Structure formats: C-alpha cells, structure tokens
Structure 1
Amino acid sequence: MKLSKLALIAAVACGINAHNLTTATANDINMVSFCETSCDCGEPVCGCEPVCCDPGCDDGSCCEPECGCEIACCDDTSCCDGGCDSGCAATSCLDDLAGGCLDDPCSLFGDIGHGITVGGWASIGYHSKAVPLFNSRADEVQLHQAWLYAEKAIDTSNGFDIGGRLDYIYGTDGPDTQSFGINNDHWDNGWDNGGDYGHALPQAYVEAGYGDLSVKLGHFYTIIGWEVVGAPDNFFYSHAYTMYNSEPFTHTGALATYNASDDLSVYGGWVTGWDSGFENNGDAFLGGASMGLCDGLTMTYATVFGRFGEDKTGGGDSERGYMHSIVFDYAVSDNLEYIFQSDYLDTEDAAGATSRSTFGINQYLLYTLSDKLALGGRFEWYDANEGIYNSDNDIYALTTGLNIKPHSNVIMRPEIRWDWVDGDSTGILEDDADDQFTFGFDTIFLF
C-alpha cells in the first residue's frame, strides 16, 4: 500500500515539476550559460566560439550559422573577453531574468596572496512554519548563516602541493553545524549564543596532493549525500529529512581522493565517527566512488561504517553500524537536470538493539531558464523505522521553488513546501499536525 501510494505521489510530483529544475557547488549556481551572440556578425561575445561541422563555415557568418553550425557558450563567463557586459544581450522578452548574462561576482577579499582565497556569504531568511531541519525557528526573519572561509586550493598539475581550508559560521544554522556528535562542549559544541543562534567551525583541515592523489587531514565536510550545509551550494532554502536525520555533516580524520580517470574518482579514509571534533568519539571507514556511467549520467556511491559515536537515541551506549548514499545525476538536456538519491542507515547499540533504522528517497528536477533564473522541484519519501521521531513513520515532502539571481553576488530562493506524515506525527511538524504547507524565502549575499 505504501509503495503504491509512493508511486502515485512520485508520478504526480514529476508531472507537476516536468517544466521545473539544479543545485550549486562551490559558492555558485550551476546554471547553464545563456550568453547570446551579437548580431553584427563580428566575434561572438561572452567567449562563445562557433563550432562548425564543415571547414566551409569559416565565412564569417555568425547570426545565421551555416552548415548546421552551432554556437557553444562557455560555462564559466570568467574566461570571456571583457566579460558579459561587452555586448551580451538577451533576446527574451523577459530581459531581466529569463535572458541576459551576469558579470563576474565581486569579492570583498578574494586572493590575498600565496594562493590563499578569503570569502564568504550571509544568508537571511524567513519561513512561515517550523520544519525541524535547520528551519526550526518559524515566523521571523533570521540570520541563518554569516559564513567566512579561508582556503588554499591545491594544484597538483606540476607535482606536489599543499593547502587547506578553515570555515566559520554564525547564525541559527550554527548549532546544527557544530560537532554535536559528542555533547561535551569540546571543539565548537558549546558555542551557543541563545535564541537558537550559535557559532561553529565546520572545517579546519590541511590537504596535500601529488598528481591524481590528494589527502585531507583534519575536520571536514562529509562526502555523503547531495545536499550540504553551506547555503549557496543548495538549490532549496529548506533541507530534506534524509540529509538532516540520516547523514553526517562533518567528520574528523583523514580522507584520500584518487582521480583514476576522467570518469572515475575513488575515496577512502578513516574518521572518528560522525559530527565530532578532534577527539576519539568513533572509529569508522569513510569512502566511495564517483563514476561517469555514460554521457550526462554520473553515479556517486558513498558509505560510512563502523563506530559512529554516542548513541543518538540518548541511551549513552556506543552506536555502530552502516550507512550509504547513492546519487544518480543525469543531465537530461543542456538546461534540465534530474537527480535521484537513495539513503540507507542501520545502526545498533553495544547490546545489539537497533538504534536507528531509516531509508529515504529524494528526487530533484531542476530547470535552468537563464543565468539569472532557475526552477526546481524536490520530492522526498523518508521511512523512519526506528530511532528517529516515533517508530515506523512514513514522511513525505514536496517542495517547489525558484533560484533568482539578479546580481552575481545575490541569490534569492523562494519556495513552497508541503509535508505530510503517515503515522504518529508527534514532534515532527509544527503543532504535531499530520500535514502542513510552508512558505519560505531567503537571500544569500556572496562576498
């Protein structure tokens, strides 16, 4: 019965979102570049270069390419000569959002020398109802993330290199980002500031690499799952139940990455459990692989198994077990992306009793209209069998939203979310309701 209901809901969700849409990585939205060519038959702007199917196409025509020639635009407008303001014009009637290009983002700090980059963002948001997934403080404008980072990215193209990164966050997302895996006020666990605000240091690591191999050592983000903590790196303002309840946010230990080929990267390392600082709170393997299966399709398998740390159910015993995340990312077309994610978690305490048992499926459909506007839909089924909320709950969430980017340094993320619970809804939604609609909106200022 549950599976048939899920199939029906998924079909409806996909139908609703068939005209809708991706997420971001590394402080920007992965929108397809929609730079247009100028119509003076001169050089294409925005770094666009004509791709010809026949040498006879070099007659200088660019407004109407001959021989089936197509104009290929750069994904990164930073390589454009003179930037997108050098003549890139939108042809859409929705000139401000549905077309046009963005200038390169401004940077308050940028490269401060020796390859060290300093930057950050501020995320300010509002949501009408409480959703216990970072967005637990309802019906008020709040500072979610005031984020600052310093990074030296490694470059192994010429051999050995060493770098690292340090991140700092303050806001209502701070307490959820702390090393709460061991509640002893060590590392950043006790840096609360009242009213749900707090500080955290989610990353502090050094990284060394040579050729195709690199190793992180310290405190770093997990490789599990598709959604992350940093606001600019997520399409949606709110988060999935799976990400919040069944995935680690950070680890402390060592993680190696080997880029075996253009289509295969392998990860492996040892960590001290989940969401812990620099102390012995676990003993687990963290690893996986990312594989390009075919044109446009990537699969990432990531797992952590071993001793995770203090029992999250409050029993005080050691929690140990297995967790994995499988993510398929498929570029359906140049501007349509589909992501399917499945998470499985099963742990037990020292006596062998089940601590947590969950299974989740998340689906994302993301559509890019222009560099400035993208549409998205997310549907989640979260099966919390044990240790999360109440026993044996099926939780569903359907989210639709926009990414509006009026400026290279500004991202606005309005969304509407519908959550409903099949089972005991106590402690899940606001006022223990069986279902609820939530409107949310945040703005991210990058610097």
Structure 2
Amino acid sequence: MASANPISGSKELGSASAARTKASLAWGAVANIEDLREIAKKRVPRTFFEYVEAGSYDELTLRANRIALDALELRQRVMVDVSSRVQSTTIVGQPALLPVVLAPAGLTGAVYPNGEIHAARAAQSHGVPFCLSTMSVCSIEDVAAAVEKPFWFQLYLMKDRGFSRSLIERAHAAGCPTLVLTMDLHVEGQRTADVHNGLGIPPRLSLANILDIAMHLRWASGMLWSKEYTFGNLKDAIRNSGNLGILSEWVKQQFDPSFERHDVEWVRKLWPGQLIVKGILDPQDAEMAVAAGADAVLISNHGGRQLDGAPSTVKAFPGVRDAVGDRIELLFDSGIRSGLDVLKALALGARACFIGRAYLYGLGAGGEAGVRKALSLISEELDTGMALTGVTDVKAVPRDVIVQ
C-alpha cells in the first residue's frame, strides 16, 4: 500500500484501491484502538512513532488524562427503549455523522506518506471534520486539491503577523469553514523522547535513526511519493526552507510569549468563518475567549504535551462548563481512545471530541483504511455505550450518565 502513489495518476490510484481492499480484509482482527497502535508501532519508524506517543517532561498530565477518563463510571440503564439511536450532530453549526473531529497534528505526513491527505479522506468518508495543522507536512493547498469537501485549519499565531495573516487568507481561499486557534504554545514544552531521538530544533540525524528507517522499508518506500519533505505550510516563509534545520529554527523563534486576548480579537476580525479557541483549561481564560468572539472553546491540555502537571481535561472541564457553558459550545480534547470515552465527554457537557493519537495509530497502521477503521471502532463503541446507558441521541446526553 505504501509503495503506491495514492495521490495522482490513474495507475497509482488503481494500485492504491487494490491495496486498500486487501488491507480492509485484515481489519477484522482489529478489535480496538490499542490493536491499531500495536500495528503502527511496527510499521512507523521509532522516531516518529514516539513523537506521536510522547508527552512533555515526566508525562504526568499525559497519564492523568487516561486515569481520569478511566475513573469515570457509566450508569447502566436497561429499562429504556433504545431501539433508535442517533450519532449525528452539529459541531459549531456544521453537520457531522459522529461527534468527533480529527484533531490537528504536526508531522502527520511523517507518520504515513501524505498522511494529512489520507486522514482528510477518511474523515470525509465518515462525515466528520478533519483539522489540518499549521505544522503539517502536506500544505493547505495540497490537501484542498486532494479532497472533495472542506476541512478545518488550525493556526499557530507567529510573531510574524504578516505571515500569520497569509495563513489565514490561504485557509479561507481553500474553503476552510472553521479556524482552530491554538493558545497553549507560547513556548514549547520539552518532549523527552523527541530529544533522545534527535527530533529537536535543529533535528539531529544519528546512526540509530538511519538504521531505524532502514528497518522500515515499507514506510521509506512510501515516502518517495510524498508531496513534501518539510513543513508544507511554512516553506514560503523563509529562504532555504528545504533545509529542515533552518526552517525548524525559524519556527522556534516564531513562538510568541506575548500572545494574549487582543491577538484573539485580531484573528476574529480577519477570520469570517467559525472560530474555535483551543488549549483552554481555566474558567477565566474561557471567559476571555468568549469576550474575544470565539464560537467554541476546546478544553485541552495539548494531549499532555505542554505544561506537565496541568490538570486532566476531565478535571478542568466542569469549571469551564459552569463558567461559560450556557454561552458557547464546548469541545473536549486530550486522552480520547474509544467511543465510551466520547460518551463520557458528552455527558460532561461537550458537544464533540477531538481525537489525535487514536486516529494517528490507524494512519500509521494502514493509511486511509486505518483511519477509517479507527473511526468505525469509535462509532461502534459509542453506539454500544449509548444503548446500555439509555441514551438515544448524542445531542442530548444527560450528565447522570456518569455515576456521581
């Protein structure tokens, strides 16, 4: 599958289609997201697999996200008619067949060749939004040319406001209906695994990395068909952008510690579509996001990849919900691995969940087909959970679904 070019050319498309058919026959043995993770671990070079896995510093918050979700107990209800169950909803006013968004993830195209395109196509086939990261490998224009329906775009606001404005304009020109503005990357939290693997700024090429890639020939041969070998959205920002070290150093210098509420207002004036503010954990920050014109708040600790020791999303969610939940749509991010996790988040008051690692495991395991499998698993688990808790509509999940 990885050796065929799935992006252009009828011969390559035919080969990719045959490969997807072959791969789909093997998905029957995959029972959950963890199974996809194990497959991805074998197929993706360690450097990039651990990039997906890593949390910051001692990974306290990374672990807390899962511990908190696992600790929530679901209230089983059996004396309720659940013969008709509805998973379709709207997310910031846009229809979705499942209350899930594929979260923005940097270097998705390093997990699987042209990974952003494969993920976007899988999301499109399942009727859910895909959000492209500023730090993607495939550019906004690459993805727009390869899919039929609009996708969302996530923005890191750079010190170079002129370049940030150009990213906003490019996303609008590509037909993106929603902009996700990330607020929790004023500075970058250290991911220890990335340091050990040389995936820092600038990146370090070691003998171990070279040998690791040589042991993953399926991945390496697929990369021959990659549309980009750098950060596709940023390659026009500086000269010599083909040098990943130079480009990465520019990115590091562009993180902006001065970023605050007035910058959100600036983005709001420029962006004509829906605006989601991501990285909110504190009720006061949520209040500021509402005042700045956000259409939704994404309660998130960046998947445990920024401030280590920050609370889990489960712990932070009620405070934000009680502060602004009657005025703005709330979304949940960080730690979701199953449809039952999604059900728990909806019961807390979320409209929908962003998933990151869960779909990236599917992507690493088998490209578009793997992401579709991840979404199918989550949908099936959510359906079972709804049936056994007496829930018939994801738009109306009562709080008492969670045992208090």
TM-score, structure 2 normalization: 0.27
TM-score, structure 1 normalization: 0.25
Find the structure with the greater CA-based Rg: 1
More relative contact order, 1 or 2 (CA 8 Å, 6+ apart): 2
Query: Which structure shows the higher strand fraction?
Result: 1
